[in-house]
């Protein structure tokens, strides 16, 4: 099989999932290609294609800021992608994150519909079935979908206007942000028309929560499978090198912990959804007896942190350093308000660290009573008390590693390979050539049947048929003399 993956990134977040699937397919004798936006570079061991360039990407960003039409620019770059796919001739196209200012969706889905290629789409967030945002539960003061004037009893439930068509978007200024226009209703209608035009589409989701959201959307007509993402357990495991642990403490200037229990939190990008303000409030509730370490901040966010109770670590931490930080932590806290799957929770568990999170979206699906706790969203008091309880009575590190082993990359991603093979072979059986049927006897017109059945005169061998008689030509009479 030839499998082509399309994703916004190739090395971070969902990009690591696409890369792992590519490597697994190649190891089983298939061919794989990852097509990604121009913001990063794929590793050299995986065939890749960069979609467009940075100039086109930033032009897409600027136009989306003005028009709220993210995903409807970069036409030229998408046409070149289609030519690349036509030359590659994939049997299966695996879609991941299509948002990210790098695709012209009508051109891509026109190719997918016209070619009839098999399509697998992994939903990593809610963007495919909303008119604007990727995380509708983060909406505040959004009007209900039925336009009733009542106020919501549970603000954490967010916005549900994507159930009926969007419009009046409460997150217009959130990613993918728009400064002026609100085209969420138009985007929703265009997405519904394009995404439901495919016949050979199968959806997957990494969590039950995200799968339930998709089943409530216009994508409910397609089959959907819950296939959790896997984790590379060879990369995330306890770090036993004491010298290296001391080196990490010195390199990231964590000496200010001074022997206090470390409360660690990690995210690739910190925003309101990831709960940075909640972590600052948690540090105030815990006091100076604990030290909260936040990994993945930019310079402005690091300067705004409280100096004594919160330590910030910059972005681009190496995987080995991250493994060391997970190992040193007394407890890992995810204050995120919405996640398609709690990957950072799994990374901490694989390093033998107990975890703590909110009862929000897909995060509690990772936990069991033996590995961590979950508290209500935004309840800082309960969060601080849970941190104290876990630090005073730690859970067994072996149980944490055993839970993470259930999400081993090899076993989890083999489910995708079986899905590919089932789709490929099922289509082969449907399209197998059938033996030709004998042509039906042509119908004879009633007016021609007597002549058709007329018996012909037979001649003996060597006897030629007599030539037909011909009457002598008539001579014209001349004038009388």
Mean pLDDT lowest among 3-17, 60-74, 455-469: 455-469
Residues 203 and 342 in one domain: no
| Pair (104, 186) in one structural domain | yes
Assign 449 a pLDDT band (cuts: 50, 70, 90).
very low
Q: Are 357 and 331 in contact (CB under 8 A)?
A: no
pLDDT surpassing 80 at residue 134: yes
In terms of Cβ atoms closer than 10 Å to its own Cβ (0-12, 13-18, 19+), residue 393 is exposed
Same structural domain, 383 and 249: yes
pLDDT at 407: 95
What's the burial of 71, exposed, middle or buried (CB within 10 Å: 0-12/13-18/19+)? buried
- Asked whether residue 289 is assigned to any structural domain, the reply reads yes
| Stretch among 40-44, 80-84, 162-166, 424-428 having the lowest mean pLDDT | 424-428
For 330-359, the DSSP string reads SEEEE--S--SS-HHHHHHHHTT--EEEES
Q: pTM to 2 decimals?
A: 0.85
Residue 467 pLDDT greater than 50, yes or no: yes
Is the per-residue pLDDT at 154 higher than 60? no
**Given a cut of 80, is residue 284 above it in pLDDT?**
yes
What would the pLDDT profile of 68-126 be if each residue is shown by its tens digit?
Answer: 999 999 999 999 999 999 999 999 999 999 999 999 999 999 999 999 999 999 999 99
Question: How many angstroms from the chain centroid is the CA of residue 307?
Answer: 38
Residue ending a domain, among 388, 405, 422, is 405
Q: Which residue has the higher pLDDT, 348 or 479?
A: 348
Q: Is the pLDDT of residue 209 over 80?
A: yes
| pLDDT confidence band for 466 (50 / 70 / 90) | low
Same domain membership, residue 415 and residue 401: no
Could you tell me the pLDDT band of residue 450, with boundaries at 50, 70 and 90?
Answer: very low
191 and 280 both lie in a single domain: no
468 within some domain = no
Task: Please say if the pLDDT value at position 199 is more than 60.
Answer: yes
Residue 468: is it exposed, middle or buried by C-beta count within 10 angstroms (0-12/13-18/19+)?
exposed
Whether 456 is in a domain gets the answer no
Residue 270 lies in a domain: yes
Q: Does residue 399 share a domain with residue 423?
A: no
Q: Do residues 397 and 417 both lie within one domain?
A: no
**Mean pLDDT value of segment 138-151:** 61
Q: How far apart are CA 437 and CA 130, in angstroms?
A: 49
According to the model, what pLDDT value does residue 258 have?
Answer: 83
On average, the pLDDT of the chain sits at 87
pLDDT interval class at 364 (50, 70, 90): very high
Say what the pLDDT of residue 213 is: 95
Distance CA 153, CA 239 (A): 46
Residues 203 and 122 in one domain: yes
Q: Residue 4 forms beta bridges with which residues?
A: 33, 93
463 within some domain = no
pLDDT band at 272 (very low <50, low <70, confident <90, very high): confident
Query: Which helix H or strand E contains 3, and what residues bound it?
Result: strand 2-7
Residue 284: inside a domain, yes or no?
A: yes
Is the domain of 223 the same as that of 190? yes
Count CA atoms within 13 Å of residue 27 on its CB side: 10
Domain final residue pick, 370, 405, 440:
405
Angle between helices 105-115 and 184-195 (to 10 degrees): 10
Residue with tokens 């001074």: 258
Domain that holds residue 278: 242-405
Indicate if 169 and 191 belong to the same structural domain: yes
The C-alpha atoms of residue 191 and residue 187 are separated, in whole angstroms, by 6
Average pLDDT over residues 132-156: 65
Q: How far apart are CA 166 and CA 154, in angstroms?
A: 20
pLDDT of residue 309: 84
200 and 348 share one domain: no
Per-residue pLDDT at 308 exceeds 50? yes
Residue 432 has pLDDT above 60, yes or no: no
- Lowest-pLDDT range, 255-259, 309-313, 314-318, 420-424? 314-318
Q: Is the pLDDT of residue 367 over 80?
A: yes
When divided into structural domains, the chain yields a total of: 2
Instruction: Assess if residue 466 is contained within a domain.
Output: no
| The pLDDT of residue 139 | 86
Does the residue 441 lie in any domain?
no
Task: Output the pLDDT for position 448.
Answer: 41
pLDDT at 306: 86
Same domain, 175 and 40: yes
CATH number at residue 72: 3.40.50.2000
Query: What's the pLDDT at 435?
Result: 52
């Amino acid at each position: 099989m030839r499998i082509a993956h399309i994703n916004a990134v190739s090395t971070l977040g969902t990009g690591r999932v696409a890369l792992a699937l590519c490597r697994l397919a190649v190891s089983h004798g298939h061919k794989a290609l990852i097509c990604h936006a121009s913001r990063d570079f794929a590793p050299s061991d995986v065939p890749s294609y960069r979609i467009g360039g940075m100039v086109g990407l930033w032009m897409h960003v600027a136009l989306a800021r003005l028009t709220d039409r993210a995903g409807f620019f970069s036409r030229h770059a998408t046409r070149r992608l289609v030519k690349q796919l036509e030359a590659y001739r994939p049997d299966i196209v695996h879609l991941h994150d299509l948002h990210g200012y790098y695709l012209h969706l009508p051109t891509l889905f026109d190719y997918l519909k016209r070619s009839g290629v098999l399509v697998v789409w992994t939903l990593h967030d809610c963007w495919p079935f909303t008119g604007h945002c990727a995380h509708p539960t983060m909406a505040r003061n959004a009007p209900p979908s039925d336009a009733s004037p009542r106020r919501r009893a549970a603000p954490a439930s967010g916005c549900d206007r994507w159930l009926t068509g969007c419009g009046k978007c409460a997150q217009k200024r959130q990613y993918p942000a728009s400064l002026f226009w609100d085209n969420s209703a138009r985007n929703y209608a265009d997405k519904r028309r394009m995404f439901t035009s495919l016949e050979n589409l199968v959806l997957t989701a990494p969590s039950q929560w995200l799968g339930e959201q998709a089943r409530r959307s216009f994508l409910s007509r397609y089959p959907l499978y819950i296939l959790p993402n896997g984790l590379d357990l060879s990369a995330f495991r306890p770090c036993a090198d004491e010298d290296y642990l001391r080196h990490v403490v010195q390199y990231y200037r964590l000496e200010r912990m001074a022997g206090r229990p470390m409360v660690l939190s990690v995210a690739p990008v910190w925003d309101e959804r990831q709960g940075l303000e909640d972590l600052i409030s948690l540090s105030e509730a815990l006091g100076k007896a604990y030290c909260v370490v936040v990994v993945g901040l930019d310079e402005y966010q690091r300067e705004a942190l409280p100096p004594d109770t919160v330590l910030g670590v910059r972005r681009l931490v190496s995987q080995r350093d991250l493994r060391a930080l997970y190992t040193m932590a007394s407890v890992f806290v995810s204050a995120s308000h919405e996640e398609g799957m709690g990957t950072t929770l799994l990374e901490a568990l694989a390093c033998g660290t107990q975890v703590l999170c909110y009862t929000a979206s897909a995060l509690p699906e990772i936990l069991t009573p033996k590995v961590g706790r979950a508290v209500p969203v935004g309840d800082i008091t309960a969060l601080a008390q849970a941190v104290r309880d876990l630090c005073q009575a730690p859970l067994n590190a072996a149980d944490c590693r055993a839970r993470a082993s259930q999400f081993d990359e090899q076993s989890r991603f083999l489910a995708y390979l079986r899905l590919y093979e089932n789709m490929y072979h099922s289509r082969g059986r449907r399209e197998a050539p059938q033996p030709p049927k004998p042509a039906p006897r042509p119908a004879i017109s009633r007016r021609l049947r007597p002549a058709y059945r007329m018996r012909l005169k037979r001649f003996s061998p060597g006897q030629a048929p007599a030539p037909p008689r011909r009457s002598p030509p008539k001579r014209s009479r001349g004038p009388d003399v």
